[in-house]
Chains A and B, each alone.
Chain A
Amino acid sequence: MREITFMEATLEALSEEMARDETIFVVGQGSGARGGNFNTTTGLYDIYGPERLRDVPITERGFVGMCTGAAMTGTRPVVDFMFLDFILDAMGEMVNQMAKMQYMSSGRLKMPILLRGCIGVGGAAATHHSGNYYSMFAHLPGFKVVVPTTAYDAKGLFKTALRSDDPVLFLEHKSLINGRGEVPEEEYLIPFGQASICRRGKDLTVVALTTMVGKTLTVCEKLAQEGISVEVIDPRTVAPLDVDTILESVQRTGRLLVIDETFAICGIGAEIAAQVVDRGFDDLDAPVRRLNGLHVPTPYSAPLEASVVPQLPDIEQAIRDLLAE
């Protein structure tokens, strides 16, 4: 099968959906003729024109508010934030209007809007360009939150997002967007709330997100040579969260480790742990563990930056520790 990058996969999905649905338009800094800072819209300006690929000034609250209104009128805005950190300037519009409008209108108004941007630690991008934020959005009712890992998942989930009537946060880890993976030519969609089991195992379950999926799989290869069999699950969406798949796995392994690049406190790992302990208590053979990045602003220096997120030896040690419990 052909291999393309994560970003090429989302570009393909966006282009296909824009051809299919003429109410879709894209808003963002550099999203027009420039083709997006992360090549999110490369070539689309030539196909769909300035009406549907619009540059905007650095006024997040303004253009998010306008797109919220546009979505209410029946169009499908795609808001491209480049670095997702700047979405924080639009939080008032998002939380109070976008997420609540369907409820406030008793469902008479829809909110088909896609908000995308790069997240994550990596590339010495410093603390204003390294946030993850997905736990924060998952906390609020009204948002769907997508955190794909592979090119295949990115395309299938992007298409689902563009056909959803709810606001969707499509969060792309900047260390993953250039990763290549097999993506079929023919059309497919991946539903939200369906975790992917990336590796089968019987001794321990790891739930990993974004960059931690690949790192964990690398560690698992090594551990497999010692006969340690680890199951790896990528939730793919954190809202909705597929706890059933995790529970089913824990039922077999009895041990759960959640590995997440971002902060542990009030994070998605805490939510997964709480639900598994609640519903799967009698399946647990050991405490539920989390391995997270440090609860600090992300440093600019590359060695310091690497030290605040879990690395391969940390993951290996966490797995060994939990197996010893």
Chain B
Amino acid sequence: MAEEIVMPRLGWTMEEGTLIEWLKEDGAAVETGELLFTVEGDKALNEIETFVGGILHLPSAAPQPGDTVPVGTVLGYLLEVGEQPPAYEATKTNAAADTQTPAQAASTMSDTEPSHAVSATEPTISPRARRVAAELGVDWQQLQGSGRSGRIVERDVRAAQGLSSAAPKATPIAQRLAAEAGLDLAELAAQKQGGRIEREDVEAAVEAARAMPTTSTSQPITRVRQLIAAHLSTSAHTTAAVTLTTEADATELVVLRQKFKDSLGQNAPTYNDLLIKLSASALGKHPALNASWHNEEIQLHATVHMGVATDTDDGLLVPVIRDAQSKNLQQIAAETKTLFDQARQRQLKPEDMQDGTFTLTNLGMYGIDAFTPIINLPQCAILGIGRIIEKPAVHDGQIVVRSMMALSLTFDHRVLDGGPAARFLDQVRSFVEQPYQWLSE
């Protein structure tokens, strides 16, 4: 019987999703566990794995890549060999079995876990066996249950564990030496193919380990890392990114900052605060840069919500200063301090990072000059700030020591052209060089 492939629900709030692409061709033979298609849900791109195998059949009347359809919409079928495809119907024939999707998220970016809904092919398991499997790290999905009606019970889990963890045989001396050297006896046993591990084996392994160059280690991917990866690779693959760089004479900005420090001490605005304020002012004069590519439309935003890329132990976070264009320096300074503190203490709320219309990213403190930032979708541009460094420069016809700063603007050429982007960057340069232009705003 034809298995329906439907738009999966990838989070509690997801009502519809966009079919991005099929990872298998129409008519291809697909095996259980293979990735079938990609879907964009509420938050990110997901690759969807199939839980059943078959011949992929994509009816012409079914949704096409790029189409946004309600959760549960039939996207295609998996047929048995020689089976005639059914007449296409968008709604699932067994609507009540909403959760029995043959396909489920392989790696969901949503807030919720992939649901543990029982599908026709998923085994049942007793609560105790489920608990014991979790404790022992046994993947019960792969087990055959010995309970009535095939239910996996505790003994099945323990038996599976017993197979994988039969203690390797080793002499007491070998055990002690291996423990001291931090060697895994099971690994040695595998090399010796079941033979008893003796002192010589351990010593040889210790020698081998010493001679071996340091190998790479693997790290699990955190959720934040996954989100960053999905978000940035989408940006890198979908935008037409162009980076413009220029150098600004920041001498006056340095003087201004020093004066603030002299008078306000701890509460003086940082360079970031000054750059937030001047960039917001520049965006006011160049609204084409304060725009988003959204649902095949370009949205021009009336207010500037300035995202500031922030390096934390968890990874890159982008807290947002809302209505930056209408806030004064003190307000911005107070707000950034709070947001950065929260970001570093992992206390940022999702709403603190939403609705940004433009992003600043400052690598100046790491000694970087120009670079090529990646656009923070759905925004259309991002401004990279380089270090401020004293170097010889021509000023009033003389070669003198000036504080110079590199600026890097990446913009999405789909949304705007090089001219407006260049004019905006030049405005920023001008504002850096002559702070009085925006300071009174």
A133 CB–B CB distance under 8 Å? no
Which residue on chain A has the smallest CB distance to residue B129?
A: A285
Interface residues contributed by chain B, number (CB under 8 Å): 11
B257 CB–A CB distance under 8 Å? no
Known: A254-B154, A325-B153. A283 touches B148 (CB 8 A): no
Main secondary structure of the interface of B (DSSP, over half): helix
Q: In the bound complex, what is the Cα–Cα distance between A284 and B148 (angstroms)?
A: 15
Q: In the bound complex, what is the Cα–Cα distance between A279 and B153 (angstroms)?
A: 19
Number of A-B contacts (CB under 8 A): 31
Write out, one digit per residue, whether chain A residues 285-313 have a CB within 8 A of any chain B CB (1) or not (0): 11000000000000000000000000000
Contact residues in A for B147 (Cβ distance below 8 Å): 286, 324-325
Write out, one digit per residue, whether chain A residues 310-325 have a CB within 8 A of any chain B CB (1) or not (0): 0000000000000011
A282 CB–B CB distance under 8 Å? yes
**Min CB–CB distance B156 → chain A (angstroms):** 10
Most buried by A among B127, B128, B130, B131: B128
Contact residues in B for A254 (Cβ distance below 8 Å): 126, 128, 153-154
Contact A283 B153 (CB under 8 A): no
The range of chain A's interface size is: under 10
A281 CB–B CB distance under 8 Å? yes
**Min CB–CB distance B146 → chain A (angstroms):** 9
Contact residues in B for A284 (Cβ distance below 8 Å): 126-128
Which residue on chain A has the smallest CB distance to residue B130?
A: A282
Q: Which of A154-209 contact B (CB under 8 A)?
A: none
Contact residues in B for A282 (Cβ distance below 8 Å): 127-128, 130-131
Contact residues in A for B151 (Cβ distance below 8 Å): 286, 325
Contact A285 B126 (CB under 8 A): yes
Which residue on chain A has the smallest CB distance to residue B157?
A: A285
Known: A254-B154, A285-B153, A285-B154. A324 touches B148 (CB 8 A): yes
Q: Which of A250-306 contact B (CB under 8 A)?
A: 254, 281-286
Which residue on chain B has the smallest CB distance to residue A254?
A: B128
Contact residues in A for B148 (Cβ distance below 8 Å): 324-325
**Min CB–CB distance B162 → chain A (angstroms):** 17
Q: In the bound complex, what is the Cα–Cα distance between A324 and B126 (angstroms)?
A: 13
Residues of A within 8 A of B (CB): 254, 281-286, 324-325
Known: A284-B127, A286-B147. 17 other contacts (CB 8 A): A254-B128, A254-B153, A282-B127, A282-B128, A282-B131, A283-B127, A283-B131, A284-B126, A285-B126, A285-B127, A285-B129, A285-B153, A285-B154, A286-B126, A286-B151, A286-B153, A324-B148
| 5 A-B residue pairings within 8 Å (CB atoms) | A282-B127, A282-B131, A285-B126, A285-B127, A285-B129
